[in-house]
Amino acid sequence: MPRGLWVLVGGQFINKFGSFVMPFLTLFLAGRGLGPGQIASILAAISIGHLVAPFVSGYLTDAIGRRDTIVLSLAGGAVAILGIYFAGSYTQIIVIAAVYGFLSSMFSPPANALISDLVPPELRVTAFALLRLAINAGFAAGPAVAGVLFTRAPMLIFIGDAATTLVFAALAWAFLPHGLRTVTGRVTSVRVVARSWVEATTDMVRNGPYVQLLIATLCMAVAFQQVFCVLALDATERGLDPVHYGLLMGSNGVFIALFELPLSQWTKRMDPRRVLRVGYAMVALGCASFALAQTFSQFLAAMALFTFGEMLSLPVAAGYGSQLAPAQFRGRYFGWSTVVWSLAGMAGSSGVWFYGTVGAVWWLWSGLVAGVGTLVMWPRLRARPVIDETAAAPAK
């Protein structure tokens, strides 16, 4: 594997170990005296930032290079996460949360595009699995540490989160290559930006298998996001304390750190559509199982089922998508992929409101939505011709 991949792997481990805030954000906001509706609005603001970011990030990825877009995302996100803690009012929290959502969500398109630039197609599932291994190895320990820090002083989770993100930004600036630059013309021109998005989107709409992947992923991701938006409230209301909740979320990373890389070596030889159908179905069953959990061990069992679905599907979806995306449009293709996850995040934030209305039954509805994603992947659409990996020239 190229050095650039290992920089991303190491940086993501550091960054995700320090991702202390998001697993405890709903609890922090509730501790500030905000109600479920206000918390849902703040999560929605983050999701709106997520939704807007890929249109900027996908373009910048192809226009100014992968590395510079990554550094902008990381450095800006570190400042914004601190701003949420120091915000003095509900309105300020909403505004800063939207900025944080925008900056943090700029990371995915350039990172995925850079991996696709550097790694040959037959190794990409493994490469994406390595990146997720680093993410989840960090996430395995991070929430447990965050649970301890949160009980001592909530400010500590914000400071730790920002510091580890800035460390990754410094590593990226020093050691990552730029990757491909495929946008011609003055990159700040509105006309150039609009033309580039029209060209890429027109190409994508004609790419039936990629559109199929996006629709199926949207269904699965809606359910997926509930685990990171609703579970904190649900688990604590059913008797889990913050430390046990941190251990529960950390178990997701432990499972992935132990099993995802071997699974990816097995699944990369299979038809990706079949793997995605199975993985999305397991995510659906895992979400539905949370409706029945009452004890820590039952929550852990539901998390294990959910996580194995995640391990099967997410690296394969990333590798499959990278093979379907033409080299000259990678940043913008991955931008649309991030838009899908952003829409799912908005549904996740609304899930807080639905959960407050219907209770644990919401998990059953979430599982049903993920099950639709399994069905969407069932038809076999005709694949595009093999992608020309030399379609774009490397950056200087």
For the segment 230-255, what is each residue's pLDDT rounded down to a tens digit?
Answer: 887 888 888 888 788 878 887 887 88
Highest mean pLDDT among 23-32, 206-215, 267-276, 355-364: 206-215
> How far is Cα 367 from Cα 353, in angstroms, rounded to an integer?
17
Residue 344: phi and psi, rounded to 5, are -65, -35
> How far is Cα 190 from Cα 159, in angstroms, rounded to an integer?
37
With CA atoms as reference, report the closest residue to 179 among 55, 64, 74.
Answer: 64
Q: Which amino acid is at 342?
A: S
Q: What is the mean pLDDT of residues 101-112?
A: 90
Report yes or no: 159 and 82 within 8 Å, Cβ to Cβ: yes
Report yes or no: 321 and 334 within 8 Å, Cβ to Cβ: yes
Give the pLDDT band (50/70/90) at residue 384.
low
Is the whole model's pTM more than 0.85, yes or no?
A: no
Place of tokens 């950056």: 395
- Exposure string for 219-234, b = 16+ CB within 10 A, e = fewer: bbbbbbbbbbbbbbbb
- For residue 129, the number of C-alpha atoms closer than 13 Å in the C-beta half-sphere is 23
Report yes or no: 238 and 230 within 8 Å, Cβ to Cβ: no
So what's the pLDDT on residue 70? 94
Instruction: Look at residue 391 and tell me whether its pLDDT is greater than 50.
Output: no
> How far is Cα 249 from Cα 57, in angstroms, rounded to an integer?
29
> How far is Cα 362 from Cα 344, in angstroms, rounded to an integer?
15
Instruction: Look at residue 388 and tell me whether its pLDDT is greater than 60.
Output: no
Q: What is the mean pLDDT of residues 215-239?
A: 86
With CA atoms as reference, report the closest residue to 139 among 302, 285, 251.
Answer: 251
Which DSSP letter does residue 122 get? G
Least confident of 117-126, 187-196, 215-224, 374-383: 187-196
Give the pLDDT band (50/70/90) at residue 385.
low
> How far is Cα 127 from Cα 113, in angstroms, rounded to an integer?
12
So what's the pLDDT on residue 186? 67
With CA atoms as reference, report the closest residue to 289 among 271, 308, 307, 306.
Answer: 306
Which DSSP letter does residue 230 get? T
The better pLDDT of the pair 179, 368 is held by 368
So what's the pLDDT on residue 390? 38
Residue 15 region, left (φ>0) first, then alpha (ψ -120 to 50), else beta? alpha
Burial (0-12, 13-18, 19+ Cβ within 10 Å), 291: middle
So what's the pLDDT on residue 392? 40
With CA atoms as reference, report the closest residue to 249 among 291, 307, 311.
Answer: 307
- For residue 293, the number of C-alpha atoms closer than 13 Å in the C-beta half-sphere is 28
With CA atoms as reference, report the closest residue to 386 among 329, 332, 328, 325.
Answer: 325
Instruction: Look at residue 185 and tell me whether its pLDDT is greater than 80.
Output: no
So what's the pLDDT on residue 387? 46
So what's the pLDDT on residue 393? 38
So what's the pLDDT on residue 328? 80
Instruction: Look at residue 98 and tell me whether its pLDDT is greater than 60.
Output: yes
Q: What is the mean pLDDT of residues 196-209?
A: 86
For the segment 41-91, what is each residue's pLDDT rounded down to a tens digit?
Answer: 898 888 888 888 888 888 888 888 889 999 999 999 999 999 999 998 999
So what's the pLDDT on residue 35? 84
Instruction: Look at residue 394 and tell me whether its pLDDT is greater than 60.
Output: no
So what's the pLDDT on residue 308? 92
For the segment 284-308, what is each residue's pLDDT rounded down to a tens digit?
Answer: 999 999 988 888 899 999 999 999 9
Question: In the numeric block, which tokens belong to residue 344?
Answer: 């799912």
DSSP secondary structure, 131-157, as one string: HHHHHHHHHHHHHHHHHHHHHH-HHHH
Residue spans of the domains in the chain: they are 3-180+202-376
Report yes or no: 229 and 366 within 8 Å, Cβ to Cβ: no
Question: In the numeric block, which tokens belong to residue 16?
Answer: 């995700």
Superfamily of domain 3-180+202-376 in CATH is: MFS general substrate transporter like domains (1.20.1250.20)
So what's the pLDDT on residue 132? 82
Instruction: Look at residue 329 and tell me whether its pLDDT is greater than 70.
Output: yes
Mean pLDDT of the chain: 84
With CA atoms as reference, report the closest residue to 113 among 312, 318, 291.
Answer: 318
Which DSSP letter does residue 384 get? P
Instruction: Look at residue 389 and tell me whether its pLDDT is greater than 70.
Output: no
> How far is Cα 249 from Cα 252, in angstroms, rounded to an integer?
6
Q: What is the mean pLDDT of residues 311-325?
A: 87
Q: What is the mean pLDDT of residues 35-40?
A: 83
Q: How remote is the C-alpha of 203 from its chain's centroid?
A: 24
Q: What does each C-alpha distance from 166 to 11, 110, 193, 284 come to in angstroms?
A: 10, 17, 29, 35
Which DSSP letter does residue 187 get? T
